[in-house]
Structures are given as structure tokens and as C-alpha cells.
Amino acid sequence: MALSLRDVRCDPIANRALNELMHHYTVAQEKSRLVLTKKTGDMKLFLNDLDDLHQWDFMRNQQVVKEIERLRVLLTTTNQQRESWKVRALMAEAQLVEATAKTGNKGGGAENVSDVRYASLKRYLAKRFHPDYAPGQGIEKIVRNEIFKEIWNEIDRLDCATARSAAAA
């Protein structure tokens, strides 16, 4: 039986396969078959029957299923690693708080934990909004600079208030 482009367009599976192949091949209809010629190069595929396209579609679907399974395994591994790191980070934070509290008990400890967190927040804000580090161009950079000025004025005010209360004590 002769294979025509019309027959392929009427069969949903063969049509899907041909549409996929047309990304890399040009299609020509000969007397009893379709000839697909590679767009880059001189390779030709000769399709004599709809089953040729059905077989190609089946093999393509198998490849997609394998790729999906590979990605699923990779996702599971990534999620497990993320949870592992989260647990390690929480444990490290708890150990830091415990160690800080132990050393702080000798010299007035609750302030040490908040001092460490305050210093960390201050560094983060400086890196995020300081004009020397601020990413962006034009208006975005100007807005970041203004935000930095407001935040840094408040940080300076808090630092001065803390210094005064420490000097008074």
C-alpha cells in the first residue's frame, strides 16, 4: 500500500511522529512512500508504511519515559540532600546557641546571642544594599541606595543607643 502525506495527517500517532521529525527533516512525497531529508547533511529516511512512524513514536516515548524516570530519581536525591542540609544547619545553629549560652553564663550571656545575630543581620544588609555592592542600573540602583541610607541611619541610632546604655551600666 502506498503511503501518502494525507494518510499520515489522518493518523494521530503518525502525524505526531512526523511533526516531531519535521524539526530536523524536510518531507517529500514520492510515488509510494515519504522521503525525509535531513536539513543539515544528506541523510534520507524512507517511510513506506504508517507502522514506520508508529515505531519511531514508540521509541521516542520510551526515551521520554526513561528521561522522566532519571529526572525523578535526581529530584528525590536532591530533596534528600536538601533535607539533610537543613537538619545539619539546624543542629549547627542549636550548637552555636548552646555554646554561646555556656560562654555567656560566665559573663552575662543572652546578649551574646543577640549580638551575633545583630552583627550578622548588619553584614547582610550592608552586602545587599550598600551602594558599592548594589546590583542593578539606573533607578533600581538609586532606590537601593536610598533604602540603604534609611536602614543604615536606624542601625547607627541603635548602635549609639546600645553604646550609651552599656556606658551607663
pLDDT tens sequence across 156-169: 888 888 777 777 76
The residues of the chain scoring below 70 in pLDDT are 1, 104-113, 134-135, 169
Segment 57-77, tens digit of pLDDT? 889 999 999 999 999 999 999
For the chain, helix (H) and strand (E) counts, in that order, are 5, 3
- Written as nine digits, the cell of 93 is 545553629
Spans of all domains in the chain: 5-61, 110-169
Q: What does 139-166 look like in DSSP terms, one character per residue?
A: HHHHHHHHHHHHHHHHHHHHHHHHHHHH
With beta carbons less than 8 A apart as the criterion, state whether 113 and 100 touch: yes
Q: How confident is the model at residue 109, as a pLDDT?
A: 47
Give the HSE-up count for residue 78: Cα atoms under 13 Å, Cβ half-sphere: 6
Q: What share of the chain in percent tops pLDDT 90? A: 12
The 3-state DSSP composition of the chain as helix, strand, coil percent (nearest 5) reads: 75, 10, 20
Sign of CA dihedral 135, 137, 138, 139: negative
